[in-house]
Structure 1
């Protein structure tokens, strides 16, 4: 095992000391991996009904850690934003984050229809976003696909803030309602960096959005920081809810 890990480390492309973009990929990978270890090792501390939620939290950060390893190496090798790998990561982890909403509301009577609606909306949001950012990148492509992606995003926001998910959380009350509110803020504020990054990273009607005061901002840095906060933060909210439920 030591030799395998050592070979992997030696195979990694070196990061220049002034490469802040590559540094955020590296830190993101380490942070996600550390969070995965924490969630996986804490599973047995909770009742069986909470272990699935903690397991999903660990899977989210573990999947992200693996992809960040590849994205860091891709960026170091080609000096380009790893758009494809990033969307592969999102299309796996974002639906799992939607699963977290269902799991904490399941005891309050959440049906599988809520789960599948949110998963479908998240997949539509990501697939259309990828088309606009990496496939149909000229003419009206970014604006059309970006609009479709935004509609799916706002559907998720509506569902958890005022729709069926919100009503179930209010029925459950207590720690479930508190955790639901925090997760809602993660989606509304934390996830907002992704459509903003899309605006800044595509052409067409978004031209120049990525440049502020004459300085070209790195979308990858914003994405990397947001990913770490959103995915690890999501898991910590679930962990906190599990702790409170177990104490009672």
Structure 2
């Protein structure tokens, strides 16, 4: 009982605490998105329910972590880097799984899914090392993380995933293209946060709050990913 009371206890957020504000709003937005995705599952054909379930899991996992990150920030006024990367190591591979799930209709194999998952894990582990463990070599770790990211982007824009999307055509191709744009543009927010939170980059970026950048990026990307999948399921169920 005490645990539940502590979990739902809301600490005071200063009116000028924009980081705390974005943590709280991000948590509520992703929790609301999770409820929406979970409750809508029964409305779709069985072949799309798993995709909707994964969308809900992505936002639910993020919402729980954001609740803890909000409390961590409120208590210490410090970036909750560890919690953030735990969130990402769970949710980003699931976002990669979404590509496989929507492309199964065109014959996508699990090797595509595992390749994207592997690259995402490399991207995140090296990013964490550069941001929290070996900050003196943040640029090197950031480069490795960036190469893994570009490998993902290449695969979905020009590689096997793109060929499968073209083969599927119609609403699947449109959804795939929308998810690709989220990866190319939406995920590009994260390198800005990385540079703002690690030494050795351009001085101008040091004036930015990496937590605000990350929080906005998370909400836009995770909820946006889910809405693209939801729209695809709606279109496919109506056909």
- Shorter chain as denominator, the TM-score bin is over 0.9
Q: Which aligned segments of 4 or more residues in structure 1 are displaced greater than 6 angstroms? A: none
| Deviations 1:68-111 (CA, angstroms, capped at 9, x unpaired) | 00000000000001111111100100000000000000110101
Show CA shifts across 1:5-59 (max 9, x none).
Answer: 655333x322112211101100000000000000000000001110000000000
Instruction: Tell whether 2:22 aligns with 1:24.
Output: yes
- Quick one: distance in 1 between partners of 2:144 and 2:3? 44
Gaps of 5+ in 1: none
Counterpart Cα distance in 2 of 1:5 and 1:232: 26
> What corresponds to 1:173 in structure 2?
169
> Of 111, 114, 131, which residue of structure 2 is paired with 1:113?
111
Q: 2:151 & 2:194 partners in 1: Cα distance?
A: 18
Task: Structure 2: state its 5+ residue gaps.
Answer: none
TM-score calculated relative to the size of structure 1: 0.93
Counterpart CA distance in 2 for 1:112 and 1:235 is 21
1:33 aligns with 2:31: yes
Specify the SS of the correspondent of 1:18.
coil
Question: Contact 1:199–1:209 (CA<8 Å) still a contact in 2?
Answer: no
The Cα shift of 1:228 comes to 0.3
Distance 1:222 1:145 in 2: 20
Tell me which of 184, 190, 211 is aligned to 1:188: 184
5 Å-filtered alignment, 1:208-247, equals 208-211=203-206, 216-247=207-238
The normalised TM-score by structure 2 is 0.97
Structure 2: distance between partners of 1:87 and 1:54: 23
Task: Provide the rounded CA distance (Å) in 2 between the counterparts of 1:60 and 1:247.
Answer: 25
Does the Cα contact within 8 Å between 2:93 and 2:121 map onto a contact in 1? yes
Distance 2:205 2:134 in 1: 19
SS in 2 for 1:54: helix
Distance (Å, rounded) in 1 between the aligned partners of 2:233 and 2:202: 45
SS in 2 for 1:183: helix
SS of residue in 2 equivalent to 1:210:
helix
- Report the Cα offset of residue 168 of structure 1: 0.2
The RMSD of aligned alpha carbons is 1.4
Q: Look up the SS of the partner of 1:182 in the other structure.
A: helix
**1:22-61, aligned counterparts within 5 Å?**
22-61=20-59
Q: Any idea what the Cα deviations from partners look like across 1:149-173, whole Å, max 9, x if unmatched?
A: 0000000000000000000000000
Distance in 2, matches of 1:186 and 1:203, equals: 27
